Amino acid sequence: MIDIRPPIKATNMKKHHALQHLLKRLQKQPKTLAPFVSLLLILSVTALITPGFLEIKFVNGHLYGSLIDILHRGTPTALVALGMAVVIGTRGIDLSVGAVIAISGAVTAVLTVNTDWPVWIVIACALGSGLVCGLWNGLLVSIFNIQPIVATLILMVAGRGIAQMITEGQIVTFHSTALNAIGNEFFLAFPIRVWIALGMIILTIVVMRKTSLGLFIEAVGANVRASRLVGIEARLLVLSAYIFSGFCAALSGIIIAADIRGADANNAGLWLELDAILAVVLAGASLAGGRIYLGLTIIGVLIIQTLTTAILTSGLPVQYNLVVKATIILAVLLIQSPTTRQWLSKRFQSKRRQNPKKGQNSTSSQNHGRADQ
Amino acid sequence: MIDRSIRQHLSWFDTLKQHLLTTVLCVALPVCSVSASAESLTIGFSQIGSESGWRTSETESIKAEAERRGYNLKFSDAQQKQENQIKAVRSFIAQGVDGILLAPVVETGWDQVLKEAKRAHIPVVLVDRGVDANPDLYLTKVASDFREEGALAASWLAAKTNGKCNIVELQGTVGSSAAIDRKAGFDAVISNFPNMKIIRSQSGDFTRAGGKEVMESFLKAESNPKKDICALFSHNDDMALGAILAMKEAGIKPSKDILVVSIDGVPDIFKAMMDGESNATIELNPHLGAPAFDAILAYRAGKTVPKWIKANGPLYLPDTAAAEYNKRK
């Protein structure tokens, strides 16, 4: 049989080889690698568009640059996504986190302005409001068996109203050195809020993975009945997952309020629940429960935040912001889709079958081509 | 049905009677306009709701103006729902009020109820927003002109910088009329100055957090922000307040290193001007009661009323900020 295809250059061959290698690895460990690859791709494309995007300077004893901004801005979403991941693990969803952010921010601001209480009590009250909200959601889901999307929708709608009642519809501004530090100051070159988030992330991962709690939560998400039969207290676990999510959202709310030194009941954390759900899904979790990746969820958050910051620094006309963001997210999701991966690997395998020497010995393939000419 | 038409006739009759009375008074008394303002009117006011501080102060201002004039104001809060507003307007018509103030929550869907008011000879004054309907159906619109606000901000900036300035712009929510028109008005003025240009423009969604995040990215994108950026034009005060925080955190002195001009006149921006962190704000005038009531009086006196009464607020500078802040607190 005569091969009539044109000769393939050696460099091309190498590229194909590298790509194949990557695809193989993606196939083997798709869940862990895909979010990292997406993040690196987005970062490198942004660096090409906006020179100096990856630059980090040392200003006034702390790090300064767009990358630090991404960490700084991503903190609230990361905290919310952490709680969301645990809830999604139990086959639930928490739509109320944005409203809980508004409530905890409102509590922080109103208590700071209207009382002389020390800041740690104010923070404790705000966190407490989050725990109560989480308890409410958890009771509706685990005791009354209301479907999570509807149960949390109630607080999503009512919560912002509660926050508006607390602030009386105004943006309440406050001055507190401690809260300001949480919102904007640095410790060991990094923003304090990033350290707080990092602490929460590590703590959650350790508790979830070094104890059997994570396993139990995923078991409940995968099959409630089976997990009950083996003696897992499913109701309590689901309840605590929502309480944890409420706590994370409240912490995020304190940070958001501290950031602008005021509580904006109408806008604080608006649509953040959607970003959090997206981050959890980008990490490879299943919304059907039973499968979550905490560390990768944080990478998912960084992907979303990198996109936001990149679009803002790129000088793109505002009308295009949302479409560009959505297109890139779609591309990331497509990369992760099993169908796309199967299709890609099939294409490569069929190519290899047609030309078995290709990719093994570049010189012989070149000779082959020349002989045909 | 019959009941309603009788009532409409009656109210029309009432109007005629009052017209005659006013005419008689005008003939009898040498100063006509004074006597007109002395009569006590019953006015219905359908407000959207109380979603922002600005709207609350608009409501309070209109209530205070009605009280000052001795009018009987029937107030209805629609809680952001058009059907509530339509209900309120219908009940005002049924009560045979002398005039209706309407702050429409959306632009469309008003034709029918406006026709009913027209049939009952009750003048409707739109406040702070317009509607998409035949202008014959309402008396007038009392609202500020967003284009003029943008133009005023640009004119102030041009005068302040002798027409030489690199501007960064914080836009409002994409597609909102306030964002589109404020930008258009601003652009129209700076296009006359070859050395004034907008170097960066992004949306901060009219929020403090949005303004802060976008300003941070602007500052990172310039190699030497203190020198490269001469002024910030923000479509509202809240975004400017967020941007001021971002500048301070980056070690830049707002209002000194980078000029700050914004629109709305919320109390906190006056506080910022007192602290020397902002340069100017243009008030979005919430005192729409007086021009709206005057329009109704003019209608009753048989005068023609323009279809858009522009109620633009003034530009405030730091020198009067303390007094204005105390007024608004």
pLDDT in tens, B47-83: 988 766 788 889 999 999 999 999 999 999 888 889 9
Q: Which residue has the higher pLDDT, A358 or B153?
A: B153
Query: Which range among A218-222, B241-245, B279-283 shows the weakest confidence by mean pLDDT?
Result: A218-222
CB B92 within 8 A of CB B8: no
How far apart are the C-alpha atoms of B289 and A328, rounded to whole Å? 49
- Residue (of A106, B116, B257) closest to B246 by Cα position: B257
> A259 and B238: CB-CB below 8 Å?
no
Query: For the domain B2-143+286-311, what is the CATH code?
Result: 3.40.50.2300
State whether residue B264 sits within 8 Å of chain A by CB.
no
Angle, alpha carbons A236-A237-A242 (nearest 5°) = 100
What mean pLDDT, rounded, does chain A reach? 86
Beta pairing class for B99-102 and B42-47: parallel
Determine the average pLDDT of the residues in A117-135.
Answer: 97
Query: For the domain B146-284, what is the CATH code?
Result: 3.40.50.2300
Question: Cα–chain-centroid distance for residue A163?
Answer: 25
Given B201, B220, B242, which is nearest A260 (Cβ)? B242
Determine the average pLDDT of the residues in A62-70.
Answer: 89
State whether residue B200 sits within 8 Å of chain A by CB.
yes
**What local confidence, expressed as pLDDT, does residue B130 receive?**
86
**What local confidence, expressed as pLDDT, does residue A353 receive?**
62
State whether residue B214 sits within 8 Å of chain A by CB.
yes
**What local confidence, expressed as pLDDT, does residue B127 receive?**
93
What ranges do the domains of chain A cover?
A: 66-315, 319-353
Q: Would you say residue A1 has pLDDT above 60? A: no
> B216 and A69: CB-CB below 8 Å?
yes
Query: A170 contacts in B (CB within 8 Å)?
Result: 53
A66-315 CATH fold: ABC transporter involved in vitamin B12 uptake, BtuC (1.10.3470)
- Residue (of B263, B261, B267) closest to B323 by Cα position: B267
Q: Which of residues 237-256 of B touch A (CB under 8 A)?
A: 238, 241-242, 245, 249-251
> A312 and B249: CB-CB below 8 Å?
no
3-state secondary structure of B308: strand
Q: Which residue has the higher pLDDT, B183 or A361?
A: B183
CB A333 within 8 A of CB A326: no
Q: Would you say residue B3 has pLDDT above 50? A: no
How far apart are the C-alpha atoms of B128 and B47, rounded to whole Å? 10
Residue B32 CB coordination number (10 Å): 14
Q: Would you say residue B287 has pLDDT above 70? A: yes
User: Dmax over Cα atoms in chain B, in whole Å?
Assistant: 76
**What local confidence, expressed as pLDDT, does residue B276 receive?**
96
**Confidence category of residue B7, pLDDT binned at 50, 70, 90:** very low
Query: B210 contacts in A (CB within 8 Å)?
Result: 267
The dihedral sign for the CA sequence B65, B67, B68, B72: positive
The amino acid at B100: I
**Where do you find CATH 3.40.50.2300 in chain B?**
2-143+286-311, 146-284
Phi first, then psi: what are they for B97, rounded to 5°?
A: -70, 170
Instruction: Tell me what ipTM this predicted complex has.
Output: 0.78
- Residue (of B46, B54, B31, B121) closest to B84 by Cα position: B46
The amino acid at B205: D
- Residue (of B235, B120, B228, B84) closest to B174 by Cα position: B235
> A266 and B268: CB-CB below 8 Å?
no
Q: What letter does residue B318 receive in the DSSP assignment?
A: G
Neighbouring residues of A169: CB distance < 8 A, sequence distance ≥ 6 = A265, B50, B51, B52, B53, B56
> A262 and B214: CB-CB below 8 Å?
no
**What local confidence, expressed as pLDDT, does residue B257 receive?**
96
Given B202, B220, B238, which is nearest A66 (Cβ)? B220
Query: B53 contacts in A (CB within 8 Å)?
Result: 169-171
**What local confidence, expressed as pLDDT, does residue A351 receive?**
63
Q: Which of B169, B220, B239, B328 to mutate to test the interface with A (most CBs of A within 10 A)?
A: B220
What are the pLDDT digits (tens) for B92-106? 999 999 999 999 988
Query: Which range among A21-30, A70-79, A284-293, A333-342 shows the weakest confidence by mean pLDDT?
Result: A21-30
What mean pLDDT, rounded, does chain B reach? 87
- What is the share, in percent, of chain A residues with pLDDT greater than 90? 58
State whether residue B172 sits within 8 Å of chain A by CB.
no
How far apart are the C-alpha atoms of A108 and A98, rounded to whole Å? 15
Q: For residue A289, count CB atoms less than 10 angstroms from its CB and return exposed for 0-12, middle for 13-18, buried for 19 or more.
A: buried
> A312 and B52: CB-CB below 8 Å?
no
A and B: number of Cβ contacts within 8 A: 72
> A267 and B213: CB-CB below 8 Å?
no
Determine the average pLDDT of the residues in A11-31.
Answer: 61
Q: Where are the alpha helices (DSSP H) in chain B?
A: 2-28, 32-38, 53-69, 82-95, 111-119, 146-161, 177-190, 208-221, 225-228, 237-249, 267-274, 289-300, 321-328
